Structure 1
Amino acid sequence: MRKVKSLSDDGVVDVVRKWFSSLIASPPRLLVLGFAMIILLGAGLLMLPFSHTQDSAPRFIDALFTATSATCVTGLVVVDTGTYWTTAGQLIILTMIQVGGLGFMTMATLFAIILKRRISLKERLVLQESLNQTSIEGIIRLVRKVVVYALTIELVGAILFTARFLFDMPVGEAMYKGAFHAVSFFNNAGFDIMGDYRSLVDYVGDPLVNIVTMLLIILGGLGFVVLSDLVDFRNMKRKLSLHSKVVLSMSGILIVTGAALILIFEYTNGKTFAPLGFGEKLLAAFMQSVSPRTAGVNSVDIAGLRQATQFIIIILMFIGASPGSTGGGIKTTTFTALVGAVVAMVRGKEDVVLFKMRLAQERVYKALTVTLFAFGLVIVATMILSTTEDHQFLMILFEVTSAFGTVGLSMGLTGDLTVAGKIIIILMMFMGRLGPLTLTYALGRKQGRALYRHAEGKIIIG
């Protein structure tokens, strides 16, 4: 007799295959799935006996929180990285930071290049989405630059850190901590292994540690397209693009303005700046201004800052780094487009003009969409945590914004989060790393071009 296929045979395989094919049909969905798989794999590895120093394995929610924070290069931690995890566990976290910072597709493409395997069109499209590029032209060349720039900067940072740490610890420990912090800070992760959640508090007045840290954070947050432009500009091969000009100018404005305001508000604060000399105060002010650009490194007690300073940091965290970088937030270019639109409206101009170049209206709409999506996510998460967590509103808003901006700064709430609170922060870190628009495109159904336009109507604004 002929065997009749049942649903449990080839039919099920076909259904699963079709479902999986539709799941990874678009670059945004593949990015979401890829980051989720890395996080789950990392959480599983962190629960193994060789990863932690405790007699019993960590709770899955804590391992998942740590893995998400590392892969999404955030830096929020529920346990102290330097004492809770073994060297093997710290190396697992460091690997997730590197993969999460550069992007898993960038790492996969690197291995494909090494193995001389052809990069398919679909893989190029995913790379385009991952690196936030407008086209696939030159995308493989950009990947090579990304890897070379990242490894070179991290190596130089590791050497400088090691040279400084040799005065405080044995050679092996100095080299290990130098390499760990160079990778963590360049990728804007904010993880540190100094112990007891201290970050760089012990080095608040150290010029070398502070300057190297800030340079690593800034270089990681500018974006690889800007770094490539700067290298070519130095070689006199080309002029800076509009994108690079906007990123560099807005980054400089935010850093200097933030540092000036923080210095003013904290100058006489006995819990932070008052005991420091003027030079140390300047270093601390610039560090606390650079770090909220998604790095999560602090040289003073964040909980001891005045509320005005904490609110400034919230604003800086929400803006974040630049597109195509290792950082999060709505991005400097988005903020610049919004400011440009406001200036144009106030002046009665129709176009947004930046550096004598007109910005397409579509870009302004996208900037507005990203900002409203991000603002909505932060509001909803803050409202939920205000219900689940028994803490001050500003502390909760600070934590949520830090998670969304993949910053990692905290006023002390992370360790006290309930399970529900940890889940919300995990989701915020995940959405902040991928970006609200990427998630929307991944979860939504692709719409075709409209065949008609509605009649124009008018409403009163303002």
Structure 2
Amino acid sequence: MTGLSRRSRWTSVLLSRFQHPAQLVVTSFGLLVVVGTVLLLQPIATTGRPADVVDALFTATSAVTVTGLAVVDTQAHWSVFGELVIAGLAQVGGLGIMTFATLFAVLVGRRVGLRFRLMAQAETSMLSMADVRVIARRVVVFSLTCEVVFAAVLAARWMIGYGEPFLRAVYYGVFHSIMAFNHAGFALWPDGLNRFVADPWISVTITLAVVVGGLGFPVVFELRRNWLRPRRWSIMTRLTVWISLALLAVGTLFLLVAEWDNAGTFGPLSEGDKLMAALFASSMTRSAGLNTVDVGQMHSSSWLFSDLLMFIGGGSASTAGGIKVTTFGVLAYVIWAELRGEPHVNIGNRRVSGAVQRQAIAITLISGMLVAASTYVLLVISPFGLDRVLFEVISAFTTTGLSTGITSQFSPVGLILLSLLMFVGRTGPLTLGWALALRERSRRYELPEERVIVG
């Protein structure tokens, strides 16, 4: 038997083990976390003593899930090799393992089968299976192009404005471009990007990278086709664009007012810099996790409002986390239809199916219950208050990466719990549920209907 035949046989055996494509998605992300943990445990990955197992596991999970929560100083603890491992994990995690696998299948000239297309569709949340290979190529080309452009701007600024050597400026630019576009909140300074709070070249560039990365690939492709014809936008694109802009504006205004006189955040800044810092902070709650002010010095009201923004997250099929703005939009229209007594939920000139409504409700309820349960456990095993613990839990579950400064102070049990939250938040509550289910069942009959009094 040839090597190719043996590989084909083992591939068939592997795929036959999974009853649903989501199972392979979850397993692939799990294996990537394991690989990242092993690499970060190597002596070459650190600048001093080898990393602790829990620290390596937490960092690998944070990178793969494009979260950005850290228990150690990224630049001081990890070597260049370790930083490259983190950047690589964030890149693969952001684009999605199945997208990379689909592109690889195209490059080697092999036919992508139906099962493989289903797996890629499950990972990228595509609305149709029309040539996944073409979509995968577009995803990768678009992502890398954006990262190169943002990296070039950042590198030029660090080289010209701060006198960094060429190679170091390029390294800084590429690293933070990957982190911003993929919504992974790792930074190469212990205080994040605080020193650049008044630098529009850095702040605005990273904000744009976060916004573009958080729209979602299907929305970006549709906007490219119908940029000047919003009436032809799909419901998904309309919800994503308008709700994202509304949340960004509302978040900026709220944080600007709440932190205007806070000496630990916006207080020392000029009026223009305050506005820029508020815009940056608002955009980062969309699951990006970078910061230009000390989040731990914010008021409790700002933490609570950030909790809401982080929980909603970014666009579907994007590098962002959260329940997604489309889920939030569908729920808003469900409530509006119920208040008006309408029998169906309509958005524009389209009716939303009952399956989509149930999925939105299920995602929100499951997410809320996971956040509540995890918050309770961490409150029991840690000395911190509710506001800080809730912020950390939501930040982990929504793969945001913002922190009030207490992440590294959790016990190993707490760090493992946060790692599980990041993993579940990246793969998705429903995807994880599908992966754990042995098989799907369909009911072949309908039961009699009965009205239940609610409220």
TM-score (normalizing by structure 1): 0.93
Is there any run of 5+ residues in structure 2 with no aligned partner, and where?
Answer: 1-9
More divergent stretch after superposition (310-319 vs 107-116): 107-116
2:178 match: 183
2:23 match: 29
1:7 match: none
Q: SS at 1:372's partner residue? A: helix
Letter in 1 for 2:167: G
1:460 match: 453
Is 1:446 paired with 2:439?
A: yes
Letter in 2 for 1:177: Y
State whether residues 103 and 133 of structure 2, in contact with CA within 8 Å, keep that contact through their aligned partners in structure 1: no
State whether residues 65 and 423 of structure 2, in contact with CA within 8 Å, keep that contact through their aligned partners in structure 1: yes
2:328 match: 335
Q: 1:247 to 1:18 in 2, by over 3 A?
A: closer
Q: 1:19 to 1:412 in 2, by over 3 A?
A: farther
For residues 20 and 355 of structure 1, what CA distance do their matches in structure 2 show?
Answer: 44
State whether residues 154 and 182 of structure 1, in contact with CA within 8 Å, keep that contact through their aligned partners in structure 2: yes
What is the aligned counterpart of 1:67 among 44, 60, 66? 60
1:52-451 superposed matches below 5 A: 52-54=46-48, 56-166=49-159, 167-168=161-162, 169-193=164-188, 195-196=189-190, 198-234=191-227, 239-451=232-444
For residues 345 and 25 of structure 1, what CA distance do their matches in structure 2 show?
Answer: 37
For residues 150 and 238 of structure 1, what CA distance do their matches in structure 2 show?
Answer: 26
State whether residues 19 and 438 of structure 2, in contact with CA within 8 Å, keep that contact through their aligned partners in structure 1: no
- Note the aligned Cα RMSD (angstroms): 1.8
| Aligned-residue offset at 1:209 | 0.9
1:10 match: none
| Aligned-residue offset at 1:122 | 1.1
Letter in 2 for 1:30: L
2:43 match: 49
Letter in 1 for 2:170: M
For residues 451 and 112 of structure 1, what CA distance do their matches in structure 2 show?
Answer: 38
More divergent stretch after superposition (145-154 vs 225-234): 225-234
Q: 1:403 to 1:23 in 2, by over 3 A?
A: farther
Q: SS at 1:353's partner residue? A: strand
More divergent stretch after superposition (159-168 vs 134-143): 134-143
Moved over 3 A (4+): 16-23, 234-239
Letter in 1 for 2:311: F
Letter in 2 for 1:32: V
| Aligned-residue offset at 1:234 | 4.1
Q: 1:20 to 1:150 in 2, by over 3 A?
A: closer
For residues 167 and 231 of structure 2, what CA distance do their matches in structure 1 show?
Answer: 43
Letter in 2 for 1:25: Q
Q: Could you give the per-residue CA deviations for residues 177-196 of structure 1, whole angstroms, max 9, x where no partner exists?
A: 00100011100001111x22
Q: SS at 1:222's partner residue? A: coil
Q: Could you give the per-residue CA deviations for residues 267-312 of structure 1, whole angstroms, max 9, x where no partner exists?
A: 1112111111110110111111110100001111101111111101
Letter in 1 for 2:26: V
For residues 114 and 156 of structure 1, what CA distance do their matches in structure 2 show?
Answer: 24
| Aligned-residue offset at 1:402 | 0.3
Q: 1:64 to 1:99 in 2, by over 3 A?
A: same
| Aligned-residue offset at 1:235 | 8.7
Q: 1:58 to 1:461 in 2, by over 3 A?
A: same
For residues 185 and 132 of structure 2, what CA distance do their matches in structure 1 show?
Answer: 28
Give the length in aligned residue pairs. Answer: 444
For residues 318 and 269 of structure 1, what CA distance do their matches in structure 2 show?
Answer: 25
1:5 match: none
More divergent stretch after superposition (371-380 vs 439-448): 439-448
For residues 230 and 18 of structure 1, what CA distance do their matches in structure 2 show?
Answer: 38
| Aligned-residue offset at 1:24 | 2.5
For residues 333 and 236 of structure 1, what CA distance do their matches in structure 2 show?
Answer: 20
Q: SS at 2:44's partner residue? A: helix
Q: SS at 2:214's partner residue? A: helix
| Aligned-residue offset at 1:447 | 3.3
State whether residues 297 and 408 of structure 1, in contact with CA within 8 Å, keep that contact through their aligned partners in structure 2: yes
State whether residues 79 and 415 of structure 1, in contact with CA within 8 Å, keep that contact through their aligned partners in structure 2: yes
For residues 300 and 230 of structure 2, what CA distance do their matches in structure 1 show?
Answer: 47
For residues 303 and 436 of structure 2, what CA distance do their matches in structure 1 show?
Answer: 34
State whether residues 232 and 238 of structure 1, in contact with CA within 8 Å, keep that contact through their aligned partners in structure 2: no
Q: SS at 2:351's partner residue? A: strand
Q: Could you give the per-residue CA deviations for residues 70-118 of structure 1, whole angstroms, max 9, x where no partner exists?
A: 0000000111111111111111111100100000111122222222122
For residues 283 and 92 of structure 1, what CA distance do their matches in structure 2 show?
Answer: 32
State whether residues 68 and 399 of structure 2, in contact with CA within 8 Å, keep that contact through their aligned partners in structure 1: yes
For residues 19 and 108 of structure 1, what CA distance do their matches in structure 2 show?
Answer: 18
State whether residues 32 and 434 of structure 1, in contact with CA within 8 Å, keep that contact through their aligned partners in structure 2: yes
Q: Could you give the per-residue CA deviations for residues 33-82 of structure 1, whole angstroms, max 9, x where no partner exists?
A: 1001011001101111111101x211111101000000000000111111
For residues 17 and 325 of structure 1, what CA distance do their matches in structure 2 show?
Answer: 29
Q: SS at 2:403's partner residue? A: coil
Is there any run of 5+ residues in structure 1 with no aligned partner, and where?
Answer: 1-15
Q: SS at 1:101's partner residue? A: helix
For residues 415 and 69 of structure 1, what CA distance do their matches in structure 2 show?
Answer: 13
State whether residues 51 and 89 of structure 1, in contact with CA within 8 Å, keep that contact through their aligned partners in structure 2: yes
| Aligned-residue offset at 1:152 | 0.6
Q: Share of identical aligned residues, percent?
A: 38
1:4 match: none
State whether residues 23 and 29 of structure 1, in contact with CA within 8 Å, keep that contact through their aligned partners in structure 2: no
For residues 18 and 101 of structure 1, what CA distance do their matches in structure 2 show?
Answer: 27
Q: Could you give the per-residue CA deviations for residues 143-166 of structure 1, whole angstroms, max 9, x where no partner exists?
A: 111011101100000000011111
| Aligned-residue offset at 1:240 | 2.1
